[in-house]
A and B are shown apart, each in its own frame.
Chain A
């Protein structure tokens, strides 16, 4: 497996708050990396730093061999880094179709609006939103909006896809459906980094897990190893979880 994304000693602070401390992490092509940690650990900041929303104060980020530490957000998107938002960010007045068309249109220079709309329809079908294509995004349910986010991210033809809590706020049937989609995407060859709190989903889909705590990376490795790591248990999972899990195993 070749390395697709590399972070070296990446730090980011917001005035007094150190959100990321010296994070060094590599993502290999084709893997599904689970990024876990308590609330406020810096998971979303890490994604924002990679995508150019809040560039690193120090350290280096490279993607596909290119230095992208100081890249602008739209350039990151065009390179094939795409993401879904924890708090969904639709274009509320647009139809679902135009939401996805916007992603297809602007992520690939030289694209025309008509082709973008055609591609968008295919992505809507893929995530199961074809019946809502002409409905305005504001009228969709939360589960649908999460899937719309995913369709937008896919329309950008990503090489590396960040999924920021795609399952938060969904019921168990919806989670199951989303999990199935992620499996399919991974099988289709897209490298995925997912931020997720549902350990069931993490253990089900991820091939590797990285744990952030107070902005620092405290563990990185195979799923089983990581969840048994005492530091991770202490910082995030808790004794209860480990006991319950051990009992089951």
Chain B
């Protein structure tokens, strides 16, 4: 196993220890951190490995939130709802991918973006099932106290993050990952050497959807109430891309760090500049991308040491 993957697993283990030191606020932040990392790592499969700039993350997230929400309303247990959401997202997205992934570059980006709008409108109009624009109330999972509930959802999200990280590492080291790297570099040449590009891209698209959908399901149960403008928020599509770019495109460790860093910045900036927090956050992101184009992962300790010695 590669060194960076081991570091990533250690990082996740450290995150898991959060409840030992933090209260409800820290747990809430930790849950969001795990959720962001799931989104960013998942996006990395199609965006980082295969080089297809997908803006469909919000579609997967909303799809999972609503699927799980509706199933919980029908009395299914949470774990089953989440598993069904994940599997359904995997299959539906892989099938959709076979059509959408014929487009490349900007065209694909626009098409994937429209997926979010289409799903949002569907949910808005299927009032009987989803409550439409009024939103959907989701029954409380259990009657335990505030802290216990926060702990429960933190670990639920954390387990999903662990699974996502394992999936992404497995893909990176496999024939699938090798094929996706070929597609990213030269798709024509890939099919010329016998690579079934449509199949590979569809699998990648499906994998990038399934854990996001699961995270959406856990999110829905956690917040008890969802509406289309919340879970189909286009920011769920944009943020993972920014996190992946900040952390280092293609590298699982980098992307996970990028997600944590992004959340940290978001939180600090929001607290200190409540009036214009998005402006300050935007500025920081632009500066980071300008001066660290290959992301956090390109900051190697050895290089830093060399620079210090140079000075």
Give chain A's interface residues, CB within 8 Å of chain B: 51, 53, 72-74, 77-78, 82-83, 85, 89-94, 98, 102-103, 105-108, 112-113, 152, 156
Q: A91-B186, A113-B175 are in contact. Are A73 and B192 (CB under 8 A)?
A: yes
Q: A93-B181, A102-B182 are in contact. Are A77 and B175 (CB under 8 A)?
A: no
**Bound CA span A94–B181, Å:** 9
Chain A residue numbers with a CB within 8 Å of B194 are 74, 77-78, 103, 106-108, 156
24 A–B contacts from the bound complex (CB under 8 Å): A77-B191, A77-B192, A77-B193, A82-B192, A85-B189, A89-B186, A91-B189, A94-B181, A94-B185, A98-B178, A102-B179, A102-B190, A102-B193, A102-B195, A105-B175, A105-B178, A105-B179, A106-B179, A106-B190, A106-B194, A106-B196, A108-B194, A112-B175, A113-B175
Q: A90-B189, A91-B186, A102-B182 are in contact. Are A74 and B175 (CB under 8 A)?
A: no
Chain B residue numbers with a CB within 8 Å of A73 are 191-192
Report whether B195 and A83 are in contact in the complex, using a CB–CB cutoff of 8 Å.
Answer: no
Q: Which of A89, A93, A107 contacts B189 (CB 8 A)?
A: A89
Report the minimal beta-carbon distance from A203 to chain B, rounded to whole angstroms. 29
The dominant DSSP class at the B interface is helix
Residue in A51, A106, A107, A113 with the greatest tally of chain B CB atoms within 10 Å: A106
**Bound CA span A77–B188, Å:** 12
Contact flags (1/0) for B174-210 with A, using CB distance below 8 Å?
Answer: 1100110110011011111111110000000000000
Chain A residue numbers with a CB within 8 Å of B186 are 89-92
Contact flags (1/0) for B79-101 with A, using CB distance below 8 Å?
Answer: 00000000000000000000000
| CB-CB nearest in chain A for B177 | A113
Report the minimal beta-carbon distance from A119 to chain B, rounded to whole angstroms. 13
Report whether A74 and B196 are in contact in the complex, using a CB–CB cutoff of 8 Å.
Answer: yes
Residue in B188, B192, B197 with the greatest tally of chain A CB atoms within 10 Å: B192
**Bound CA span A53–B188, Å:** 9
Report whether B193 and A103 are in contact in the complex, using a CB–CB cutoff of 8 Å.
Answer: yes
Chain B residue numbers with a CB within 8 Å of A103 are 193-194
Report the minimal beta-carbon distance from A212 to chain B, rounded to whole angstroms. 22
**Bound CA span A85–B186, Å:** 13
Chain B residue numbers with a CB within 8 Å of A102 are 178-179, 182, 190, 193, 195
Report whether B189 and A74 are in contact in the complex, using a CB–CB cutoff of 8 Å.
Answer: no
**Bound CA span A103–B190, Å:** 8
Q: Which of A74, A82, A94 contacts B191 (CB 8 A)?
A: A74
Report whether B185 and A74 are in contact in the complex, using a CB–CB cutoff of 8 Å.
Answer: no
Chain A residue numbers with a CB within 8 Å of B175 are 105, 112-113
Residue in B189, B193, B196 with the greatest tally of chain A CB atoms within 10 Å: B193
**Bound CA span A82–B189, Å:** 11
Q: Given A94-B185, A113-B175, 10 other A-B contacts at CB below 8 A?
A: A51-B192, A74-B194, A83-B192, A89-B189, A89-B192, A91-B185, A102-B190, A102-B193, A103-B193, A105-B178
**Bound CA span A91–B191, Å:** 12
Report the minimal beta-carbon distance from B247 to chain A, rounded to whole angstroms. 19
Chain B residue numbers with a CB within 8 Å of A53 are 188, 192
Report the minimal beta-carbon distance from B120 to chain A, rounded to whole angstroms. 35
| CB-CB nearest in chain A for B179 | A106
Report whether A74 and B195 are in contact in the complex, using a CB–CB cutoff of 8 Å.
Answer: yes
**Bound CA span A243–B7, Å:** 73
Chain A residue numbers with a CB within 8 Å of B196 are 72, 74, 106
Residue in A98, A103, A107 with the greatest tally of chain B CB atoms within 10 Å: A103
Question: Among residues 144 to 191 in chain B, which have CB atoms less than 8 Å away from a CB atom of chain A?
Answer: 174-175, 178-179, 181-182, 185-186, 188-191
